[in-house]
Structures are given as structure tokens and as C-alpha cells.
Chain A
Amino acid sequence: SYVLTQPTSVSVAPGKTARITCGGNNIGSKSVHWYQQRPGQAPVLVIYYDTQRPSGIPDRVSGSISANTATLTISRVEAGDEADYYCQVWDTHSDHWVFGGGTNLNVL
């Protein structure tokens, strides 16, 4: 089955830029979606179709994709950005929806 690989954690100082990667075989051929999950809360969609922001998500949050890596970028990081972030794709071969293992963003 298709596997998405994320770093376990990323640390960044306030005001700096955080980049969270999501690796998968030929992920560039898929559409990648990203979710933020704050402690004790349900996940919230922050990026869909690789680069699109839902309404209400600040433009500090952006997505990009290359052949084998998708990246979620959060600029001007704030304390409120501290959360777990998950990437997700649909695997056409198995008709399964797949999540990455999640990345904990730690704001120093």
C-alpha cells in the first residue's frame, strides 16, 4: 500500500519559517492535502489540492509539491501554530485514503 513519510517533529522560533515535508513515491502525480490538529481538537483542513487554502486559513500557510515531496510552509510562525500536521492523498491503486504519520510543529 502507498506510504507517506513525514518527519516526527520540526522546531522553529517565532517569526521564522517552518517547512514540513511529506514524501511518497511519485507523490507529484497525486493531489496532496494537509491538516492541522491542535491538542485535544479535531483535525482542520489547511491546504487542499497541493496549494489551495480553504477560507479562513491565513496566507502565511502555503503548500508546494515536487516529484517526490510535498511541503507545507508556515511563514512568520506564531505560538498558535504549534500543532500536529498531517498530509493525505488518495491511492488510486488500492482505493484507500492515506495519511502521513504526522509532524509535531514545536514553536520554541
Chain B
Amino acid sequence: NAGVTQTPKFRVLKTGQSMTLLCAQDMNHEYMYWYRQDPGMGLRLIHYSVGEGTTAKGEVPDGYNVSRLKKQNFLLGLESAAPSQTSVYFCASQRGSKNIQYFGAGTRLSVL
């Protein structure tokens, strides 16, 4: 039972490049989230999903897209990376009727 797995762990991009971050959970959780964490800003919600095939915008969605084609996977895409997207990205999952969030190990992204 791996819990929540994020890939990759580290990535360096050039401005304008695109990439996809993958989050996979093996706990059969309904809810999945993508956060970014910047110094002094806490955890800011980018997008979230309450079930397979559904997604919604969070607090800071601009410049990101997501997809939840399978219940266990939640993908975060950057179509044209910008230096302002340099951050640590965390994925989390949560059972619908419970409220504990389980976080992945994070992806450290640098955009040059």
C-alpha cells in the first residue's frame, strides 16, 4: 500500500516549456487535490476533484490544467511554464466521508 505517489520528485523547466505532474493514490479515495507551497504562503489550492471525471478550480488555478480520467490518478499540467510557477507541488487525496488528507511527497519544480 503506497498511499499517494507523485512523479517526478524534481524537475527543471525553461520558460515556455510544458510538463505534466502525476499523482496516483491506491486508497480508493474520491477526493484529490493539487496544492502549491511557497515560503510564507502556506498551502494554496490549485485545482481539486471530487470524483472521476470531475474537476474544479481552487484558489490559484491560472496557468494550470488538470484531468481525472481514472479515479486513482490526478494529473496537473503546465502548458507554458513561467518563473512564477517555481514552487513545491503537493498532491493530496481524501476519502469522501472522512476528512483526513493524505499527501504525496511533493514535486519541486524550478522554472528558469
A binds B: no
